[in-house]
Amino acid sequence: MSTVTDAIPWGYLAAAAVVLLLGVGVGLVGLWQVVVTLTGGTTLLALLETALPYLVALVVLALLEVGIVVAALVKVAREVSLDDIDSDQLRSLVGRARRRFSV
């Protein structure tokens, strides 16, 4: 078994950071497009038509982000020994999660 610092999945964390930055970028571009549409004096249907692709992209990126974070947590939970965890509360939480989810 390795220690907590050895078990940090740097690849997962880098992927999570990239997906987070992509989400912020998509959100800002979508917000800009909505503002441009609003200033053009268009209808509500045109506004929804403009915003929908960005909302779908944000939902997909959010689901991807959750998947990456869960994968990172599972990897850490599999590699870390309970004896290496200093906090009693965290040790009991990891122990319960291992028993419940068969990690």
pTM: predicted TM-score of the whole model, two decimal places? 0.75
Residues spanned by the domain of 15:
10-101
- pLDDT on residue 18: 96
Tell me, yes or no, whether 5 lies in a domain: no
Please report, for residues 7, 62, 78, 98, the alpha-carbon distance to residue 11 in angstroms, rounded to integers and kept in the order given.
Answer: 11, 18, 16, 23
- pLDDT on residue 15: 93
Tell me, yes or no, whether 46 lies in a domain: yes
Task: Give every residue of the chain whose pLDDT is below 50, as ranges.
Answer: none
Q: Give the tokens for residue 93.
A: 């939480």
Please report, for residues 10, 80, 102, the alpha-carbon distance to residue 94 in angstroms, rounded to integers and kept in the order given.
Answer: 20, 10, 11
Tell me, yes or no, whether 66 lies in a domain: yes
- pLDDT on residue 14: 92
Tell me, yes or no, whether 62 lies in a domain: yes
- pLDDT on residue 42: 83
- Looking at the structure of the chain, the number of domains it has is 1
